[in-house]
Amino acid sequence: MIGTAMTASAEVPMEFRDGTLNSIDLGGHFFHSYDATTGVTTFKSINENTTKAEIAEFMGIPESDIEGIADVTAGPRYVRTKKPVGGTWKSLGLDENHTYVAFDYKVNKANANAFIYWQEGLPYDDTNPSAAGITLSVAEEWQTIFFTTTPAPGWTDMENNGYMWLVFNSWADSKDEIVFEVKNLRFLTSEEVAAQYVPSASGTEITYSPANPDIVKDEDDWGEPFWRVSGPNPIFFCNSFSMPHPQDHCILSFDSKCDQPARMVVYIDPKSKWQDFKPTGILQLEVYEGDIMNPDAEWEHHEINLGKDKNWKNMGFAKEMGSNDRLAIQFSPSVVDGMIYLRNMKLIADPAGIQGVGADEDSEVVSSQYFDLQGRQLKAAPESGLYLRRDIRANGTSATVKAIR
């Protein structure tokens, strides 16, 4: 809860809130609860099976306070933040150096394109779009997303006013039950973001969600998830990268099983806008000879070196903080109604280095990581012998070299 003034160098927290509790749409077609112990706000969508009694129990309010339930096809899904208490956002520490917003989240349904709007007051047409292409992916663990944004002019000076909308385009008009858990919503400076980010030495896990109805998630009799091709152009959107990505982590590694041949094309999607996207890797997935639903069926392992492609070399991928770049994966199946199993998808380091991407020697080395020759991370450089050193530079590029002492 915001209640005291903060210095400009400190994180400036915010909190999400509901819409108008007893309005016909309950604010963005969500109802919510807040756990003061964990700081988690949980939003649930209104869907065709939602009842007044369910909303009242979940929110801890009398059922009589709810006037009606929205038509789920009436508009977009969105949540809003609280207004500043006892002053302005500027008096609470927010200034022009706080150019990032971050929060921790869990969702049960991916959202491929969320937007941020800044609300200056009434009427509602005073909103100002500020960030787009925010991708939320499904995972069991809490995920943190960072994105760049700039409040509307004059927004920080408004007395007891000014708030942020998070609008979920992919969830608009959905009749599914959507659960969105969120905590630790805050404004950050670039220095604070950099201090919180540590690149993974073992690779970056890739989560992915359908970009269109041509591929849908299913589950076999053993509880193993798979993807059923239901149209001619199945595409996945992967999670956005808001933090600088080590450019030598350019190998897309994953396992698969397919019941039909399929051509797989990987694209770089700058800023998650699905514009100016460029292919950066191609792979032919072969048919598994046998029953792919058999739990003993062997998985085929793949590694695509995206760093060898000219688009990865020329454009780079998530080189800058707050880029929100992502990968998109397109399949060209031979027939509709095929099945594809995927698992363990991640971007891992190329043992040969950055494959010509260029580490930019003029950019300062901001940190170094050390590994033994088996790739296990060390706390520090060894006193003697061969080891690997990865230098990470201020511009987001990195290079791995063998060293000896």
Kindly list the domain boundaries of the chain, sorted by start residue: 12-196, 204-348, 365-404
Q: Which residues contact 71 (CB under 8 A, 6 or more apart)?
A: none
Least confident of 38-42, 43-47, 120-124, 161-165: 120-124
Confidence of residue 88 (pLDDT cuts 50, 70, 90): confident
The string of DSSP letters for 85-117 reads SSS-TTTTT--TT--EEEEEEEESS-EEEEEEE
Q: Which two tokens stand for residue 371?
A: 């590994």
The domain 204-348 is placed in CATH, from the list 1.10.3720.10, 2.60.120.260, 3.30.565.10, 3.40.50.300, at: 2.60.120.260
Q: Give dist(CA 185, CA 203) in Å, integer.
A: 26
For residue 354, the model assigns a pLDDT of 47
Per-residue b/e over 239-252, b at no fewer than 16 CB within 10 Å?
bbbbbbbbbbbbbb
Tens digits of residue pLDDT in 156-199: 777 767 788 888 877 877 777 889 999 988 888 877 877 776 66
Q: Which two tokens stand for residue 253?
A: 């590694």
The domain 12-196 is placed in CATH, from the list 3.40.50.300, 3.30.70.660, 2.60.120.260, 3.40.630.10, at: 2.60.120.260
Q: Which residues contact 402 (CB under 8 A, 6 or more apart)?
A: 386, 387, 388
pTM above 0.75, yes or no: no
- Phi-psi domain of 126 (left: phi exceeds 0; alpha: psi -120 through 50; beta: other): alpha
Whose CA is closest to 253, among 316, 330, 342? 342
- Same fold: 12-196 with 204-348: yes
Identify the residue with better confidence: 176 or 267. Answer: 267
Identify the residue with better confidence: 15 or 18. Answer: 15
Confidence of residue 305 (pLDDT cuts 50, 70, 90): very high
Least confident of 16-25, 28-37, 291-300, 373-382: 16-25
Question: Does 20 score more than 60 pLDDT?
Answer: no
